[in-house]
Structure 1
Amino acid sequence: MASAEMVCVTKPRVDAVEILVEKGITSIPEKFIRPPEERFTSPTPSEYGEEQVPVIDLQGLNCCEGSVEREKVLKQLAYACEEWGFFQIVNHGIPESLMEAMMNVSKAFFGLSVEEKQAYAALPGLITQGYGSKYIAREGATRDWRDFVYLFLQPHSRRDYAYWPSDPSDFREVVYNFSEETLKLAKSLLGAFSLNLGLPQNYLETFIVQPYQNMLINYYPRCPEPELTAGFYAHSDIGMATLLLQETGSKALQIRKNDKWIPVLAAPGALLVNIADQIEIISNGRYKSIEHRVVADKD
């Protein structure tokens, strides 16, 4: 007679930063304290002056080939990629209502109790899908002051809907629509980058063969000692490019330019684009993948 052994698999618990905030701590644990040389705060306007990442109106990109409007946008994109590695885009084709919905479902999910969010806890390992707080779990590494949801979106075969929150009820629908729209936008930008590099318009898209698209939703709880830690450590991005939806008016993100850290002031209705490592490599360093970071804040 055969016997069957029952195995109970228990999902891990997320060591969420939010739990510390709920406890009302007044000082942060040692694992979040960065070495003195890695600490940073928001600079005052006098420290970074009027310098700010370019804001580019993409509407002209849809004009006919060779038109003045189209050439103007291509020139602006080339300058931003070569001199900044970062730029904000408006009139990019993604409905403002969808961007607002994406922000709303993100806030609604992180507004749930920690216990409710634990249902989507990411498995241990290097960058796995789901709700978590340790992006790269390395022994002895300094922790960032943030919680997040990380999802694989493209190709569809990589998706694991067990990690897509069902609360709020429209989360999955909004993420699906946002994924499709941002993928179309990314392909349009890659076409512009290709042309500016003197390549056929479809070169970078063809080079990828099959696009991989991931989504990282970051939540930065208030921090009692922001001067000792970071919301997100200084890094550059892997892949081809990143499209970032920020809260309007936010200046928590900083980019490194000419050995200065410049806060990015999020413009209304804009998406922030940053060149990632693969495009810097493909362009032989002509396009820049720039280091960036996020400050923590008492509020």
Structure 2
Amino acid sequence: MELLCNAPAHATVPSRYIFPPEKRAALQLDNDLTPDDITLPIIDLHHGALSDDRRSQVAAEIIAAGKEFGFFQVVNHGVEEDAVQAFRDAAAGFFALPAKEKLPYCSYDMSKRFRLATSTSYDRGETRYWRDYVKFRCYPPSDDNVRCWPSKPASFAPRLVEYCEAVHGLAQTLLGLVAEGLGLDAGFFAGDLSGGDTHMSVNYYPPCPDPSVTMGLLAHCDRHLLTLLSQADVAGLQAMHGGRWLLVRPVQGAFVVNFGHQMEIVTNGVLASVEHRAVTNSVAARMSVASHVHPTDGCLIRPAPELVDEAENPAQYREFLFSEFMEAYDAADASRDDVLESFKIRRD
């Protein structure tokens, strides 16, 4: 497997990474990007120490952000910066290992519990994305998960456990606030809806000699319930907003939060899963760490009855098992419209 992290810095972009003009990010075209004065909402969680009044206000802010953007950033979230940076350093150390030490982890087999690969599993053509990544199950730290994690660098496993414990707690806090903001029971998302293994994607984008002809990652929506992303201080994430791309500008110490397909379905379309993508830059390497909260495979997914009104707001989606959705997502190559079409209720 030909990894970008194994290669010396490129002076030019190899032809296999050059996208045709109609598929490029086109950062130089002002009409493709949302104006700079439109930014993602930044929500202060006050380290989780919320009074009843403040909790209701924060829950309302999250729902408003979800309806408008499908994305928001959280600060004062209670995850210690030391824990975030320690794991980011360990993950960067893994990508920096000699090629022969990373080789045993290289695979495009999506059933593996820890795998290192490049570009994307959803190719949609011959052109490669300017990205290496590892994907793995990170929480809970069960024996089956831990035995698949790399032994080098030695700090990887202990720092990962610390980081994931903290992020899991934050995810549960956010899900409780989402439930309250929607008028659901505070524990609505507990149990099977958020009880599957949390998966992690660590994406590495080395500096690119010509970002105008490359892409970091294809436009897609996430398949699961909730994503929490650490992007540190290098921008590259873009989210679709109003038919244009919004650059998600880094905020010191923040997590970027977005909703997956399961949230859209469970809320009967109130909170949409929004397309997003990654672009490259020529100055600095960028590493993003995304934690994906999954339902259990056997979880029955359906719109919450409290959010369905057969007269005015009928159910938009049929019932299904989460495992069925996972199969449909892979078959549709992560295409938002194609995968959702399989689960929509037709009312012709």
Instruction: Tell me the TM-score normalized by structure 2.
Output: 0.74
Q: Pairwise mapping of residues 278-293 of structure 1 onto structure 2 (< 5 A)?
A: 278-293=262-277
**Residue 50 (structure 1) aligns with:** 37
1:62 CA drift (Å): 3.1
Say if 2:47 and 2:76, in contact at 8 Å, map to a contact too: no
1:85 CA drift (Å): 0.7
1:209 CA drift (Å): 6.3
Q: Percent identity?
A: 31
1:292 CA drift (Å): 0.7
1:45 CA drift (Å): 8.5
| Change in 2 beyond 3 A, CA 1:189/1:180 | same
* Structure 2 letter corresponding to 1:29: S
Q: Pairwise mapping of residues 248-267 of structure 1 onto structure 2 (< 5 A)?
A: 248=233, 250-267=234-251
| Partner Cα distance (1:55, 1:49) in 2 | 15
Q: Rg larger in 1 or in 2?
A: 1
Deviates more, 1:125-134 or 1:176-185: 125-134
**Residue 177 (structure 2) aligns with:** 192
State yes or no: 1:72 paired with 2:46: no
RMSD: 2.4
* Structure 1 letter corresponding to 2:43: I
Alignment size in residue pairs: 280
Say if 2:220 and 2:275, in contact at 8 Å, map to a contact too: yes
Equivalent residue in structure 1 for 2:13, among 21, 27, 34: 27
Secondary structure at 2:189 match in 1: helix
Q: Pairwise mapping of residues 203-218 of structure 1 onto structure 2 (< 5 A)?
A: 203-208=188-193, 210-218=195-203
Equivalent residue in structure 1 for 2:103, among 96, 101, 118: 118
* Structure 1 letter corresponding to 2:13: S
| Partner Cα distance (1:137, 1:72) in 2 | 39
**Residue 340 (structure 2) aligns with:** none
Unaligned runs of at least 5 residues, structure 2: 284-348
* Structure 1 letter corresponding to 2:127: T
Q: Report which structure shows greater RCO (CA 8 Å, sep ≥6).
A: 1
1:213 CA drift (Å): 0.4
1:140 CA drift (Å): 4.2
| Change in 2 beyond 3 A, CA 1:61/1:177 | closer
Unaligned runs of at least 5 residues, structure 1: 1-13
The superposition leaves residues 221-277 of structure 1 with CA deviations (integer Å, 9 ceiling, x where unpaired) of 1222322221111111110010001122x2211111001111111111111101111
| Change in 2 beyond 3 A, CA 1:297/1:23 | closer
Secondary structure at 2:190 match in 1: helix
Say if 1:125 and 1:137, in contact at 8 Å, map to a contact too: no
Instruction: Tell me the TM-score normalized by structure 1.
Output: 0.85
Secondary structure at 1:22 match in 2: coil
